[in-house]
Structures are given as structure tokens and as C-alpha cells.
């Protein structure tokens, strides 16, 4: 405890005697952490590493020997048309052509293929098209945008049939977009409100801006540090993937790269996200 106090006292006296050098060193350290953290990326834990016991071992074996891809489903439904009708089949073929043109889908299971006849409902009014997004599951959300756009365009071209997409990648992308949108909205409210409160409390602009600026820099520095600490203990797929200066300060988001580890997470069955009606 005594050594810590002495070290703190020495650092404080040196900073007081060399204020501009201390400020420059502090700004430089923050800049280095931000840049190197962005370039290094955040290492994500494989799904198997989050489990323990036989379940964790099985997940690691599957992730090592059997690469997984994000599973996506495109749902077709029409109260007036059946799968056997020409217009219905044309809509399915249109979706197939559009998603294949993106070059980001694989293992397609079409309801028009006799091998997958079980993907047509008993009434014949609904059908299910399944496929997987190429690349790892962790990167699927970033790769899904062209596929989602292709399905939306097909849905707009066939208004007589309800076409909707759901799956690992589309749900993950929707969640990420919602979180970032909410964070940006929170920035627009939290920073100005905090500044007003500090102005009322301190009665001076500089006294109010100083703690706000320090807090902002601390957040950015922590984002850079996560990239390095993740090498010692990786973060989950829900860990921080994006860190940025507040948009209201006039800066654009600066996304950090998420570096997935081997062994993507298992596929879940998320709710349906509508992309067209």
C-alpha cells in the first residue's frame, strides 16, 4: 500500500512539473490503443469454449471437424395460390436466382426439388426454402445483407405471395442494427443532458466539458484494451464489436474488427423477421 502511494505521489509531482508532456503522453497512449486495438480486432470465443464437460468437448469436436454455416429460411405463403401454380413456382425460382447471384449462399434446399417435398405444407399454400450463408457463423451477419436485399426485391416483385426471411444471419444482423441504432439515439440524449447537468453543477463550460471528455476517452480506450485482453480470455459473440466516437461530435462510427475463433456457435431457431409482404 505504501509503495503504491509513493508511486502515485511521484507520478503526480512529475505530471505537475511537466503538464504538457504528461498530456501529450496520455493522448498518445489513447491514440495508440485505439489504432492498435482496431487493427488487432477482438478475438471471440468459440461456442464450445463457453460450455463445460462432455457438452463442451462435443462442441469443440464438431467445430473442428464439421464447419458450420448460418442457416437461413425463406417462407412463402399465399392464401389464393398453391405451390403447383405457375405464379407461385415463378416466385420461388426468382428468389433462388437472386440469392444464388449474390454468391453468398450454399446447400440450397428448394421446395421445388422432389427430394425436399416435405418443405411444402399439406395445404400447398406455404413453402419453405432453406439455405446456408457461406463463411463462418460469426461472420454471417455481415455477409447476409446482399441476400436479404435479394429476398426483399423478390418479395416486391411478387406481391401476390408473402415472402419472408429468417435465420441465424438475418436475426443477428437485425439485433446488431437495432443495438447500434439505440446506442446512437442514446448518444443524442445522454451527452447533451449530461453536459447540461454538469454546467448547472459547476457553473463553468470547461469544468463541465472536462469530465465528459475524460469519460468519452475512457470508453474509447477500454474498447482498444478489449482487443488485447481478448487474447488472454476471448469474449463471447455478444461482446463489444463496435466502438466509436459519439456521432454528435461529428465523427463517424469506427468499427473494430471481430476476429472469430475456430468453432462457430450452434444454430438457433430465432423468430421470423419480415422482409416483404
Q: What is the pLDDT of residues 55-65, one digit of tens each?
A: 777 777 777 77
Q: What is the pLDDT of residues 61-115, one digit of tens each?
A: 777 777 778 999 999 999 999 999 999 999 999 999 999 999 999 999 999 999 9
Q: Cα dihedral sign for 226, 231, 232, 235? A: positive
Q: Using the predicted structure, report yes or no on whether residue 275 has a pLDDT greater than 60.
A: no
**Whether the Cβ atoms of residue 123 and residue 129 lie closer than 8 Å to each other:** no
> Could you tell me where the beta strands, DSSP code E, fall in 120-232?
126-133, 162-167
**Whether the Cβ atoms of residue 215 and residue 24 lie closer than 8 Å to each other:** no
Rounded CA-CA distance 109/69 in Å is: 14
Q: Using the predicted structure, report yes or no on whether residue 34 has a pLDDT greater than 60.
A: yes
- Looking at residues 181-201, what average pLDDT do you find? 87
- Looking at residues 205-212, what average pLDDT do you find? 88
Question: So what's the pLDDT on residue 245?
Answer: 46
- Decide the pairing of beta strands 162-167 and 70-77: antiparallel
Ramachandran sector of residue 233 (left: φ over 0; alpha: ψ -120 to 50; beta: rest):
beta
Rounded CA-CA distance 186/219 in Å is: 15
Q: Give me 6's grid cell.
A: 509513493
Range ranked top by mean pLDDT from 40-49, 173-182, 236-245: 173-182
Q: Which of 45-54, 91-100, 114-123, 162-171 has the lowest mean pLDDT?
A: 45-54
Domain 63-172 in this protein, CATH class: alpha beta
Rounded CA-CA distance 118/59 in Å is: 29
Q: Which of 55-69, 81-95, 161-175, 194-208 has the lowest mean pLDDT?
A: 55-69
Which ranges in the chain are annotated with CATH 3.30.70?
A: 63-172
**Whether the Cβ atoms of residue 225 and residue 33 lie closer than 8 Å to each other:** yes
Amino acid at each position: 500500500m505504501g509503495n503504491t502511494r509513493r508511486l502515485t505521489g511521484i507520478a503526480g509531482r512529475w505530471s505537475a512539473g511537466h503538464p504538457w508532456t504528461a498530456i501529450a503522453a496520455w493522448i498518445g497512449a489513447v491514440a495508440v490503443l485505439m489504432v492498435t486495438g482496431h487493427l488487432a480486432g477482438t478475438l471471440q470465443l468459440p461456442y464450445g469454449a463457453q460450455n463445460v464437460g462432455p457438452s463442451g468437448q462435443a462442441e469443440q469436436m464438431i467445430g473442428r471437424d464439421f464447419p458450420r454455416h448460418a442457416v437461413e429460411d425463406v417462407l412463402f405463403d399465399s392464401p389464393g395460390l398453391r405451390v403447383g401454380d405457375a405464379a407461385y413456382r415463378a416466385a420461388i425460382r426468382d428468389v433462388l436466382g437472386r440469392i444464388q447471384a449474390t454468391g453468398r449462399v450454399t446447400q440450397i434446399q428448394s421446395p421445388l426439388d422432389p427430394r425436399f417435398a416435405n418443405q411444402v405444407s399439406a395445404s400447398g399454400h406455404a413453402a419453405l426454402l432453406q439455405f446456408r450463408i457461406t463463411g463462418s457463423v460469426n461472420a454471417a451477419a455481415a455477409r447476409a445483407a446482399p441476400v436479404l436485399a435479394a429476398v426483399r426485391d423478390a418479395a416486391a416483385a411478387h406481391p401476390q405471395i408473402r415472402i419472408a426471411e429468417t435465420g441465424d444471419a438475418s436475426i443477428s444482423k437485425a439485433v446488431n442494427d437495432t443495438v447500434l441504432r439505440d446506442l446512437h439515439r442514446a448518444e443524442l440524449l445522454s451527452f447533451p443532458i449530461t453536459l447540461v447537468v454538469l454546467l448547472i453543477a459547476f457553473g463553468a463550460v470547461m469544468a463541465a466539458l472536462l469530465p465528459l471528455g475524460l469519460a468519452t476517452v475512457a470508453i474509447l480506450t477500454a474498447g482498444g484494451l478489449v482487443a488485447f485482453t481478448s487474447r488472454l480470455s476471448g469474449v463471447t459473440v455478444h461482446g463489444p464489436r463496435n466502438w466509436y466516437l459519439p456521432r454528435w461530435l461529428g465523427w463517424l462510427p469506427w468499427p473494430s474488427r471481430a476476429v472469430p475463433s475456430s468453432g462457430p456457435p450452434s444454430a438457433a431457431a430465432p423468430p421470423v423477421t419480415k422482409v416483404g409482404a
